[in-house]
């Protein structure tokens, strides 16, 4: 999460938050023949589509983003 300002036309500033674009998504894990539910960002969905679910999960575990897989 990042913090910034909303700036109006008159340059008046109010605080705002920049939240990640998260989705609760269900993917099919072919290696285990089951569905897995993942809370993933829009960029993460594009990564999974590009690399494949199994490789993306292994990379996320190696980087410490997820605890179990």
pLDDT tens sequence across 16-26: 999 999 999 99
Long-range CB contact pairs, 51-54, < 8 A, 24+:
53/27, 53/28, 53/29, 54/29, 54/30
Q: Which residues are bridge partners to 12 per DSSP?
A: none
Full-model pTM: 0.72
Mean pLDDT, rounded, for 45-49: 96
Residues 58 and 53: their CA atoms lie apart, in Å, by: 9
């Amino acid at each position: 999460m990042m913090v910034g300002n909303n700036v109006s036309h008159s340059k008046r500033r109010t605080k705002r938050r920049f939240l990640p674009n998260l989705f609760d998504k269900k993917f099919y894990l072919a290696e285990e023949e089951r569905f897995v539910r993942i809370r993933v960002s829009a960029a993460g969905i594009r990564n999974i589509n590009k690399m494949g679910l199994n490789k993306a999960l292994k990379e996320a575990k190696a980087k410490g983003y997820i605890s179990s897989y």
